[in-house]
Chain A
Amino acid sequence: MKPIATTRSATGIPTGRLALWWVVGSEIVIFGGLLASYIMHRIGHPEFGDYAAHTNTWAGALNTFVLLTSSLFAVLAHQAAEKGDGRKAHRFLWYTIGGAVTFLVVKGFEWTHEIHQGYTITANAFWSFYYTAAGLHGLHVIAGAIVMGVVAHKAKRNEELQRVELVGIYWHFVDIVWIFLFPLLYIAK
């Protein structure tokens, strides 16, 4: 029997995928509110530029490269799933998870260095925004990697292949959030 996620539709979009678009919509409000608040404070407080000078642009750029590449793997996994090749989709999903782990390792080194320098979440408003925004994004990366592991496990047996597309849509959104966080936190000094 085919799952409801792929067979039922009120809008013309299968229910599973429509649900994902609503998830992404709600995530826009979560991250959008946070980033809008940051931009207001960044404009209202010129000293934020001095604080941002202590973030590591090259680490941020490396992580942007890692996430863009992981997004490529996610869409290639989706392409494989569309062709019914679950094993290939499984392989590409694990490459994507590898990107997530690399991202978190780079972030770990970065945060360790910054905390040792005294730039903690309570240092001032800039660092509060920095750790909150990057931390919330990091939690999304962890959640995405875990879900992707579950989807990959099923995909290897050619089961529930429609989920490969759904987890991919979520992952690309996480990538887009970072695309905006990168210039805001690392480049605007």
Chain B
Amino acid sequence: MSASPEAADGHHTNYVKIWAILLVLLVISVLGPLLGHRTLTLVTAFGIAGVKAYIVAAHFMHLKTELKIASYILVTMVALMVLLFMGVSPDVMKHDGRNWNNDAAKAETHRAESAHSAAGAEH
């Protein structure tokens, strides 16, 4: 039976150092989007979120040293979510198709943009 992954790995792990790295990444993820560059925002906000999540999972949850079956369980669940996204997203992200129209979504987007423009004109 597998002992605790912490027992196998943790006595030598400097958790405070890992925490400090996470804080540096947090600062970058907040400051990066302030520059207003779209690609930079995506990379610093979402790319770094992925890196932070990996570090927490690998070192704090000890997935790095846990038996592989635990990672397989989690990856399977994430894969199911990706499948859900791929199956449903075209209907939600697009507001019309070859034989259909999402009038409610179009109307809401139009209403919100009109309200935003009106608010901008007032200021």
A9 to B4, CA, bound (A): 13
Residue pair A22, B73 in contact (C-beta under 8 Å) = yes
- Supposing A13-B67, A32-B77 touch, asked if A68 and B26 sit within 8 A by C-beta, the answer is yes
A9-B74 CB under 8 A given contacts A71-B56, A82-B10, A172-B61 = no
Contact indicator A41/B2 (Cβ below 8 Å):
no
Q: Is A124 an interface residue (CB 8 A)?
A: yes
A-B contacts besides A37-B88, A43-B89, A64-B26, 13 pairs, CB < 8 Å:
A13-B67, A17-B4, A36-B81, A46-B109, A65-B23, A72-B18, A75-B6, A75-B10, A82-B6, A82-B10, A125-B108, A165-B6, A169-B61
Instruction: Find residues 175-189 in chain A having any chain B CB closer than 8 Å to their own CB.
Output: 175-176, 179-180, 182-183, 187-189
- Residues of A in contact, count (CB < 8 Å): 59
Are the C-beta atoms of A44 and B95 separated by less than 8 Å? yes
Chain B residues within 8 Å of A75, by CB: 6, 10, 15, 59-60
Interface of A, helix, strand, loop or mixed by DSSP: helix
Contact call B92/A187, Cβ cutoff below 8 A? no
Is A44 within 8 A of B93, CB to CB? Answer: yes
Interface size of B by Cβ–Cβ distance < 8 Å?
53
Q: Is the CB of B56 within 8 A of A179?
A: yes
Nearest chain B CB to A130 CB, angstrom units: 15
Chain A 131-174 interface 0/1 with B at a Cβ cutoff of 8 Å (1 = within): 00000000000000000000000000000001001001100110
A105 contacts chain B at the CB level, 8 A cutoff: no
Q: Are B41 and A172 in contact (CB under 8 A)?
A: no
A9 to B7, CA, bound (A): 18
Determine if A44 and B81 form an interchain contact, defined as CB atoms under 8 angstroms apart: no
B30 to chain A, nearest CB (A): 5
The number of inter-chain residue pairs (CB within 8 angstroms) is 159
Name the B residues within 8 Å of A32 (CB-CB): 77-78, 80-81, 84
Residues of chain A within 8 A (CB-CB) of B18 are 72
Whether A33 contacts B84 in the complex (CB less than 8 A), given A11-B67, A75-B60, A176-B56, comes out as yes
**Residue from the list B10, B22, B41, B95 in contact with A79, Cβ < 8 A:** B10
Q: Which residues of B in the span 92-109 have a Cβ within 8 Å of any Cβ on A?
A: 92-95, 105, 108-109
Instruction: Give the docked Cα–Cα distance between A41 and B85 (Å).
Output: 11
The contact of A21 among B7, B74, B94, by CB within 8 Å, is B74
Complex-state Cα separation, A183 to B30, whole angstroms: 9
| A175-B15 contact given A40-B85, A40-B93, A45-B108, CB 8 Å threshold | no
Residues of A within 8 A of B59 (CB): 75
